[in-house]
Amino acid sequence: MTTGRPQPSDSGRREAPWWEGAVGYQIYVRSFADSTGDGMGDLRGIAERLDYLYWLGIDAVWLTPFYPSPGHDHGYDVADYCDVAPRHGSLADFDRLVERAHGLGLKVVVDLVPNHTSIEHEWFAEARRGRRNPFRDRYLWADPAPDGGPPNNWVSHFGGPAWTLDEATGQYWCHLFLPEQPDLNWRNEQVRESFDEVLRWWIERGVDGFRVDVAHGLMKDARLRDNPQIAPVGAGMDPFDAFDCFEHRHDMDQPANTDLFRRWHRICGPHEVMLLGEVNVPWPDRMSQYVAAGVLDRAFFLPTAWLGWAPEDLLQMVRTMHDAAPQGISWVQSNHDRSRVAGRYGGGEAGVRRALAVTALFMALGGTPFLYQGEELGLCDGVLLGDPHDPVAARNRGARNGRDGCRTPMPWAAGDQNGFSSRRPWIEAAPRPLAHTVQGQRADLAAPVHCYRSLLAARRRHPDLWQAPLKWLDAPGPATAALQRGSVAVVANLGRRRAEFELPPGRWTEAFASTTGSEVRGHRADVGPECALVLVGSGH
Ligand code: NOJ
């Protein structure tokens, strides 16, 4: 099926890759749509719901891992990189999904998990057989410290040391996440070649991009040196806090990471396949190295997906990051690893209003912004029923940051399972009211989903929003920002009081307003609190 909807790159330069101007949407596969009634999201369920994303105005979907996996980290522990887990469907379902997406003009980005495999991957099973096994060196092994303990002081993101002893061979394996996620040794040429093959295999199947999990973590210090400790780790501490007690000088963000992505770029580039890294590095200058020419095409900048409502900090962070890598960032406010943005910004109407205002600004920052499923409905985290599923919460008594709340089923309609499944979902949550569902919101023109849809439509109508050079304009205070890109301008007032912006001379008119109540006269905009406007100028 072809739709005739203009694609972002149609309105821009013809030679631009598809991700210039595109807006992505993250699908958390387990919780998006279940077509078989087993309570688990699947690929057929996604294919059946693509019409909705097309209607919303999305250009690309990123699918979280759907590969065979024992599921200790809900799919981020991959046992086979080139297959589909039966719980999510089959390769034939994947092919149909891609065909359907492409028919609608939507691109498909899959998740690549190269930092670690599952403990059940056949490479690790081999590697464990003995120190001389030809697969041994595909992983990071080290002898015990003199006291028999772990070889160094590295800690796992998910609690405890980053090392587990393999009794049979007397060495520890490294895991920056769960023990069931052994880290690969990226100095090993077989690992590099195997992943070249994985990339080619999915490119052949028609994918349009790879989201690279833990892209900042692949290379480790060759001498496995201790990380400098900056604070004491308390007993029962939240694992993310314990992780922050160290300066990750030797286990993360090693300069050689970018060599790996240059290699992948040579494979993906000729096919116009995007490399989008999860680069968990808070420093804009370091981030910019990952999205330099010939490295990754885009990187998620995660601090904006963690922040509570702190407009001044947010705007400063966004501006610095933008200026360090003007086209390289995939701007996000939510994903499957942290609380949803509407809740972080205070919940209720305020949370929805603030999130939309920031999204309007993000749409003008270049790069490739992403929404997380349900963000367009203004959802807060789901209310969990039953025990935690996320290993961060389930395995650590002191954990504050369990990730289950942002992973509850996508609410399609009213009812017990909110239209996600005909049976009890894999993760149980209190049903959402009709007003928080796709069905309820599509029927209500004032609902958040229509605001997001209008914003995406405005971006499509005014390609200057992402392709004309960006100029920051003077803004009236620290909780405000203003920018111009060719014929369009965006003014964001994230403060509590109205703010008066002065734009370059000319007549400006509203193309999108995140809330009502602002007024634009000539080149002056009187903008309501916590509101962003997209403006179109005559003669610019
Ligand atoms: C980042 C992913 O987003 C997260 O869900 C996962 O647990 C870790 N990487 C480990 O793969």
pLDDT in tens, 12-53: 444 799 999 999 999 999 999 999 999 999 999 999 999 999
Angle at alpha carbon of residue 161, lines to 155 and 166, rounded to 5°: 135
- In this prediction, residue 399 carries a pLDDT of 76
**pLDDT tens, position by position, 496-526:** 999 999 999 999 999 999 999 999 999 999 9
Cα–Cα nearest to 261, from 211, 305, 304? 211
> Model confidence over 183-204: pLDDT tens digits?
999 999 999 999 999 999 999 9
> What does the block give as tokens for 84?
């589909």
Estimate the crossing angle of helix 43-56 against helix 448-461, to 10 degrees: 70
Q: Nearest to residue 274, comparing CAs of 257, 288, 259, 261? A: 261
Type of residue at 537: G
Q: Is residue 73 in contact with ligand 1, taking CB distance under 6 Å?
A: yes
pLDDT of 17 reads: 98
Residue nearest to atom 2 of ligand 1 (CA): 213
Mutate which of 67, 111, 175, 337 to test ligand 1's pocket (most atoms within 8 Å of Cβ)?
A: 337
Does residue 7 surpass a pLDDT of 90? Answer: no
Query: What is the distance, to the nearest Å, from the Cα of residue 526 to the centroid of all Cα atoms in its chain?
Result: 34
Query: Please, what is the end-to-end C-alpha distance for the chain in angstroms?
Result: 38
Probe residue for ligand 1, chosen from 30, 67, 177, 210 as the CB with the greatest number of ligand atoms within 8 Å: 177
* CA distance readout (Å), 489 to 18, 26, 132, 402, 503: 24, 27, 63, 39, 8
pLDDT above 90 covers a percentage of the chain that reads: 93
State the average pLDDT for the chain.
Answer: 96
Identify each DSSP E strand in 70-167 by its residue range: 107-112, 141-142, 163-166
Cβ distance 91 to 55 under 8 Å? no
Torsion, Cα 11 354 334 268, to 10 degrees, reads 20
Catalytic-residue membership of 166: no
pLDDT of residue 148: 97
pLDDT of amino acid 400:
73
The sign one gets for the Cα dihedral 294, 296, 298, 303 is: negative
Contacts for 414 with CB less than 8 Å, ≥ 6 apart: 431, 433, 434, 437, 439, 440
Name the helix (H) or strand (E) containing 202. Answer: helix 189-204
Residues of 224-235 as b/e, b for ≥16 C-beta within 10 angstroms?
Answer: eeebeeeeeeee
Residues 6+ apart with CB under 8 A from 235: none
Task: Strands of 373-477 (E only): list them.
Answer: 470-473
Phi, psi of 464 (to 5 degrees): -55, -30
pLDDT of residue 4: 44
* Banded pLDDT at 235 (limits 50, 70, 90): confident
**Position in ligand 1 atom list of the atom nearest CA 77:** 11
> For residue 343, how far is its CA from the centre of ligand 1 (angstroms)?
21
Substitution site in 66, 69, 73, 300 for ligand 1 pocket (most atoms within 8 Å of beta carbon): 73
468 CA to centre of ligand 1 in angstroms = 34
Q: What is the pTM of this model?
A: 0.97
Check residue 143 and report its DSSP letter. P
pLDDT in tens, 381-436: 999 998 899 998 888 877 776 899 999 999 999 999 999 999 999 999 999 999 99
- Cα within 13 Å of Cα(15), Cβ side: 2
Residues whose CB falls within 8 Å of the CB of residue 261, separated by 6 or more in sequence, listed in order: 212, 215, 275, 277, 290, 295, 296
Distance, CA of 200 to CA of 321 (rounded, Å): 32
| pLDDT reported for residue 8 | 53
Question: Residue 5: which pLDDT band, with cuts at 50, 70 and 90?
Answer: low
Contact 73, 81 (CB under 8 A): no
What pLDDT shows up at residue 1? 36
Contact by Cβ (8 Å): 301, 331: yes
Tell me if 506 sits within 8 A of 516, measured CB to CB. Answer: no
- Whether 278 is catalytic: yes
Cα–Cα–Cα angle for 328, 63, 113, rounded to 5 degrees: 75
Q: Is the CB of 337 under 6 A from ligand 1?
A: yes
CA 70 to ligand 1 centroid distance, Å = 15
Structure tokens, 148: 């028999």
